[in-house]
Amino acid sequence: VVEARLNSMLKGEGSENKIEATPRVGIIMGSDSDLPVMKDAAKLLNMFGVSYEVRVVSAHRTPELMFSYASSARERGIQVIIAGAGGAAHLPGMVAAMTPLPVIGVPVRATQLSGVDSLLSIVQMPRGVPVATVAVNNATNAGLLAVRILGVGDSDLLTRMSQYLEDMKDDVLTKAEKLQK
């Protein structure tokens, strides 16, 4: 259901969906209400042609599912996990505790505390269990970081990342030039 909703959101943004049978990235989130934020990670991975899966897995509401997802991810071929959650956002840290895979945490702005609660819950991990935490609601950066991690063993992907940086620079310079005219 969540993948169907994601598909319709991405279609609206003109992005092609690359969900495949053997995903390299697992995008998980605590609730389907996180999808409007987390879809940006999927959009970015589509752009780079990286396969992924999308699942709702809640640390508090479906702890058994979280356990089975995290403990089986590596053997299923997942190489990086992007985990988004809001409020008391325990999902990324708990998943990182159960898998040797790199986990990228996305703090979602979901409560009256404007995402500060999620940010601190995700970033303040104890020594020994790291979560690479991106900015509040910045699932695009989570996607970019996943591509960079995968790129260490995939030079085509790193070349595409270099091109992405070049394109971004050109875009900024073109806009700056227009302002000067």
Binding site for ligand RP5 (CB under 6 A): 29-31, 33-34, 58, 85-87, 108, 110
CB 40 within 8 A of CB 108: no
**Minimum CB separation from ligand RP5 for residue 163, in Å?**
33
Q: Which is nearer to ligand RP5, 32 or 156 (CB)?
A: 32
Which is nearer to ligand RP5, 26 or 30 (by Cβ)?
30
Nearer to ligand RP5, 50 or 110 (CB): 110
Q: How far is the CB of 93 from ligand RP5 (least distance, A)?
A: 13
Contacts of 69 (CB under 8 A, 6+ apart): 26, 28, 55, 57, 95
Q: CB-based contacts of 35: which residues, under 8 Å, 6+ apart? A: 2, 5, 6, 9, 29
Distance separating alpha carbons of residues 23 and 74, to the nearest angstrom: 11
Smaller CB separation from ligand RP5, 30 or 151: 30
* CB-based contact 160:48 (threshold 8 Å): yes
CB of 110 to ligand RP5, least distance (A): 4
